[in-house]
Amino acid sequence: MERIKAVVFDWDGTIVDTMPIKICNASTIFSKLYDVDAGSIAESYRKYSGVPRRDLFDLIAKENIGRGLSKFEFNRLSSEFTSRNVESYKTNRVFDNNKRKVLVRIKEHGFMMFISSSANKDEIEKLAMLLDLEKYFKEILGSAGDFRKGIAHINYIKEKYGLKTTQIMFVGDESADMRLVGRLGIMCVGVVNNKEENELKDEFGDYVIQELSSIVEILQRV
């Protein structure tokens, strides 16, 4: 097996704990605009989380208002969602500094690190700068249009940095993460975060860990 050279991290739930904030903000916006139950929106968000925002909002809309969203509707929702999220990040604790130590150790061992997220790139970058995290990553990749988490992000990283599939490790906390990347032949590590281990193992997870700090030990073995 070739030595791993790059670690690609999911963002929400893996590096930062933003999911409760996002669920709350999405629920508020949808319920205000469409007069639907906020609890139902939250349930749909949890169910479909991990896919690009356009897909996520469409799935939520179909389940709660009986149809997909127009481009105008999505842009309006997305803009307000980003704005509310960024403001919320300023007043809520969304990062455990023990994870900073993990990122420092991985960088010290010479691995390249990337973020690959289904979230809006601008929103990720603003939070990364707020938390002083951007310096650890070669690039932060968000999802927009056809350039999204999964094959598009992985192919971009491989081509730009001259990496083979076998030299990349992906780390995420959702079943959707494992499905998106695991089927590409990338080594996948699932971070449990209160989920069932089997939920991640069943979706291409090569390793399943309880917390991010265990990633250092895995990198030393592979």
pLDDT in tens, 20-37: 999 999 999 999 999 999
pLDDT in tens, 82-127: 999 999 999 999 999 999 999 999 999 999 999 999 888 999 999 9
Beta strand segments in the chain, E: 6-9, 112-116, 139-141, 168-172, 187-191, 207-209
Contacts of 209 (CB under 8 A, 6+ apart): 189, 190, 191, 192, 215, 218
Contacts of 131-134 with C-beta under 8 Å, sequence gap 24+, read: 131/16, 131/94, 131/95, 133/15, 133/95, 133/100, 133/103
Range 173-180 average pLDDT: 79
Residue 27 confidence (pLDDT): 97
What is the spatial distance between Cα 31 and Cα 52, in angstroms, rounded to a whole number?
21
For the chain, what are the domain ranges? 6-17+94-221, 19-91
User: For the whole model, what pTM was predicted?
Assistant: 0.88
Question: Which CATH code is given to the segment(s) 6-17+94-221?
Answer: 3.40.50.1000
The β-bridge relationship of strands 139-141 and 6-9 is unpaired
Q: Which fold has domain 19-91?
A: DNA polymerase; domain 1 (1.10.150)
Range 173-195 average pLDDT: 80
Task: Measure Cα distances from 165 to 150, 175, 212 in Å.
Answer: 13, 20, 22
